[in-house]
Chain A
Amino acid sequence: MIKDVARSLWALGWMGGGAIAAFVVLLLVAPWVVSPYVVSLFMAMFMYIVVCSSWNIISGFTGYVSFGHVVFWGVGAYVTAVLVWKFNYPWPLAVMLGGVGSAFLATIVSYPILKLTGIYFAISMLALAEAIKILTSHFRSVTGGGGGIYLRPMASLNILYLMMGFLALAVVLVCYSITHTKFGRSLLTIREDETAAESLGINITRRKIQALILSGLFPGIAGGIYVMNVCFIDPATAFDISITVNIILMTTFGGIGTIIGPVLGPVAFTALSEFLWASFPFLHRAILGAILIAMVMGMPNGIMPFMVRFAQWVGIREFFSRRREASQ
Chain B
Amino acid sequence: MISQMQQKSESPDTKGKILEVRGLTKRFGGIIANDNIDMDVFVGEIVGLIGPNGAGKSTLFDMVAGVKPSGSKRFPDAGCVRFLGHDITQLKAHQVCRLGLARTFQIVRILEKMSVLENVTVGALCRTSEVYEAEKKAEKICEFVGLKDRQNLAAGELTIEGKKRLELARALATEPKLLLLDEVMAGLNPSEVAETLDLLRQINKQGITIIIVEHVMQAVMAISDRIVVLDYGKKIADDTPEAVVKDKNVIDAYLGSEDA
B37 at the interface (CB under 8 A from A): no
A4 x B67 contact (CB < 8 A): no
Residues of B within 8 A of A1 (CB): 129-130
**Out of A181, A182, A185, A193, which one reaches B109, CB within 8 Å?**
A193
B97, B111, B131: which contacts A192 (Cβ < 8 A)?
B111
Contact A199 B93 (CB under 8 A): yes
B89 contacts the other chain (CB 8 A): no
Contact between A196 and B130, CB atoms less than 8 A apart: no
Residues of A within 8 A of B132 (CB): 3-4, 7
Tell whether, in the assembled complex, residue B102 and residue A199 are in contact, meaning their CB atoms are under 8 Å apart. yes
- A189 in contact with B94 (CB, 8 Å): no
Q: Does A213 contact B (CB under 8 A)?
A: no
B126 located at the interface, meaning its Cβ lies under 8 Å from any Cβ of chain A in the complex: yes
Residues of A within 8 A of B93 (CB): 195, 198-199
Interface magnitude class on chain A: 20 to 34
A189 in contact with B122 given A195-B67, A196-B105, A200-B170 (CB within 8 Å):
yes
A188 at the interface (CB under 8 A from B): yes
Report yes or no: A189 in contact with B130, Cβ–Cβ below 8 A.
no
Asked if B114 is at the interface (CB within 8 A of a chain A CB), the reply is: yes
Q: With A and B bound together, what is the CA distance between A291 and B102 in angstroms?
A: 50
Interface check B112, CB cutoff 8 A: yes
A200 lies within 8 A of B131 (CB): no
Contact assessment for B97 and A199 in the assembled complex, using a CB-CB cutoff below 8 Å? yes
For A191-231 the 0/1 string (1 means CB < 8 A from B) is 01101111111111000000000000000000000000000
Question: With an 8 A cutoff between CB atoms, is B113 at the interface?
Answer: yes
Closest Cβ of chain A: how far from B92's Cβ, in Å? 7
| Complex interface bits, B100-111 against A, C-beta within 8 A gives 1, otherwise 0 | 001101000111
Question: Contacts A181-B131, A185-B131, A192-B111 hold; do A200 and B126 have CB atoms under 8 A apart?
Answer: yes
- Interface members, chain A 279-324 (any B CB < 8 Å): none
Q: In whole angstroms, how far apart are the Cα atoms of A188 and B119 in the complex?
A: 11
Residue of A3, A188, A189, A200 touching B97 (CB-CB under 8 A): A200
Q: Give the distance in Å from the alpha carbon of A180 to the alpha carbon of B125 in the complex.
A: 12
Report B148-177 residues with CB < 8 Å from chain A CB. Answer: 170, 174
Cα–Cα distance between A3 and B114 once the two chains are bound (Å): 22
- Interface contact B92-A200, CB-CB below 8 Å: no
Nearest opposing residue in chain B for A203, CB measure: B94
B257, chain A: closest CB distance, angstroms: 37
Considering the complex, give the chain B residue whose CB is closest to the CB of A324. B152
Cβ of B68 < 8 Å from any Cβ of A?
A: yes
CA distance A199 to B92 in the complex (A): 9
B174 to chain A, nearest CB (A): 6
Query: Which B residues, 70 to 123, have Cβ-Cβ distances below 8 Å to chain A?
Result: 92-94, 97-98, 102-103, 105, 109-114, 118, 121-123
Set of chain A residues within 8 Å of B122, measured between Cβ atoms: 185-186, 189, 197, 200, 202
A188 near B125 with CB under 8 A, answer no
- Asked whether A200 lies within 8 Å of B113 as measured between CB atoms, the reply is no
Q: Decide if A192 touches B113 in the complex (CB within 8 Å).
A: yes
Chain A residue at smallest Cβ distance from B180:
A199
In chain A, what residue has the closest Cβ to B98?
A201
Any A CB within 8 A of the CB of B49: no
CB distance from B27 to the nearest CB of A (A): 21
Within 1-20 of A, Cβ neighbours of B (below 8 Å) are at: 1, 3-4, 7
- Chain A minimum-CB-distance residue to B97: A201
Which chain B residues lie closer than 8 Å to A186 at the CB level? 122, 125
Interface pair A204/B94, CB less than 8 Å apart: yes
A40 to B5, CA, bound (A): 56
Q: Name the interface residues of A52-73: CB closer than 8 Å to any CB of B.
A: none
- Interface of B toward A, CB cutoff 8 Å: 65, 67-68, 92-94, 97-98, 102-103, 105, 109-114, 118, 121-123, 125-126, 128-132, 134, 170, 174
Write 12 A-B pairs (CB below 8 A) sorted by A numbering. Answer: A1-B129, A7-B132, A185-B125, A196-B109, A196-B110, A198-B94, A199-B65, A199-B93, A200-B94, A201-B98, A201-B125, A202-B125
Q: Which A residues contact B (CB, under 8 angstroms)?
A: 1, 3-4, 7, 180-182, 185-186, 188-189, 192-193, 195-204
Q: Which 3 A-B pairs have the closest CB atoms?
A: A201-B126, A201-B97, A196-B109
Q: A188-B114, A189-B114, A201-B94 are in contact. List 4 more A-B contacts (CB 8 A).
A: A4-B132, A182-B134, A192-B114, A202-B126
